[in-house]
Amino acid sequence: MIQPVSPPVGRPLVSAVTGTNGKTSVATATVQLMKAIGWTAAGYDSTGITDVDGVLHTARPRRSPDYLPDMIGYQALAGAQAISLEAFVGILADGLFEHVQVDTAVCTGLGRDHLDVHGSIEAYWGAKLSLFEQHLRPDGVAVLATDCARGDLVEAAVARRGARLVTVGDGGDLSLDDPQESDGQLSGQLVIGSDSFDVTLPTVHSIAVTNLLLAAAAVIGAGGAPASVARALSQVTPPPGRLEVIAERDGITAMVDTAHNPGALQTALRALRSRTRGKLLVVFGAGGERDRPKRKEMGAVAASLADVVVLTDDNPRREPPQRIRDEVRAGCPDCLEIPRRKDAIIAALAMARPGDIVLVAGKGDETEQLMGTRRVPHDDRAVIRETMASA
């Protein structure tokens, strides 16, 4: 059984999630579970601030150590008993968690990203690990998957803090046993120690399942009743743009995902590879003015896992788009290169046949493309819907 933290005094309970990929999925699932089991809860993540009434507000954080405490205080005045926070690496590195005490903390894994800002992977990981070493209560609960990337670093940080560790997955403190797939859902037994509970998960994708279980462990570690959390899992809806099915027609499935680094792209493609009856096609690019060495690696990941790779522009910003594509192409020399993103999506959909999956990666639910200093309207989802509707 997962031993929950003791309730905080004089403030809402705070759950935070960090990692390279999957943070928003876990953070939004956490606040949904909190609400579903009857807590008055609010959330802050990349989609914005979800208040205690469930209304989503656009949020651009001030670079001030008072920002998060002020936000938590405002939600507490509105009646929040619990808060779910996405701990972005930027706000950790900039000290925005300085005055925030965290009761449960989740790590989704440590990969490669934002090295253009942090200078080295050690500095980047160090900022992430500060959530566990400095901001998690010494008697708090840390959560990570049994197959968490660089979980050894997280475990060491938690041990230094003296906090308790809860593991999720095969052989962990919380796991899903006897999973059975039906109509896009997964049913089975949520096993917590010697107890088990019937559960239905609204997804069959392995990474999405892991993210739901991480959120469940965080809520249980915060004091949620396991049986109530197990029942609530079926009600969770994913944030937009994360392995989201946009359209299906004539046996072809078109999806989008936010994957914009090697680890995220690999995770998304692996999840789809095992479920593709025909061919797996991917459309992607790399962002300009960001961590150039990851570009070749992303190309290699795409080439190794997809049957058809269509290389296009992502957000080139002020960097020459052709240079970006050349550096990605070094990892996937046999890819099809179509610079204009809309054209690349249309071409991939035209190549698809019944049983195929087309994944458009990198931008997810974004509605703009950063070209030079301009913000050009573009929505991968809209292009897919329009193209599939007119096919």
Q: What is the Cα gyration radius of the chain?
A: 21
Q: What is the pLDDT of residue 374?
A: 95
Q: What is the pLDDT of residue 161?
A: 97
Rounded to an integer, what distance in angstroms lies between the CA atom of residue 85 and that of residue 68?
9
- Would you list the domain boundaries of the chain? 13-235, 244-390
Q: What is the pLDDT of residue 24?
A: 94
Nearest to 315 by CA among 282, 283, 344, 341: 341
- Shared fold status for 13-235 and 244-390: no
Q: Rounded mean pLDDT of 84-89?
A: 94
Rounded to an integer, what distance in angstroms lies between the CA atom of residue 158 and that of residue 138?
9
Rounded to an integer, what distance in angstroms lies between the CA atom of residue 174 and that of residue 143?
10
Instruction: Name the CATH superfamily, with its identifier, for domain 244-390.
Output: Mur ligase, C-terminal domain (3.90.190.20)
Q: Which residue has the higher pLDDT, 329 or 184?
A: 329
Instruction: Please write the tens of the pLDDT for every residue from 55-65.
Output: 999 887 778 88
* DSSP 8-state code for residue 10: S
Question: Does the 13-235 domain belong in CATH 3.40.1190.10?
Answer: yes
Q: What is the pLDDT of residue 290?
A: 87
Residue 139 to residues 87, 105, 225, 300, Cα–Cα distance (Å): 19, 12, 19, 43
Instruction: Please write the tens of the pLDDT for every residue from 95-134.
Output: 899 999 999 999 999 876 665 565 688 888 888 999 999 9
Q: What is the pLDDT of residue 142?
A: 98
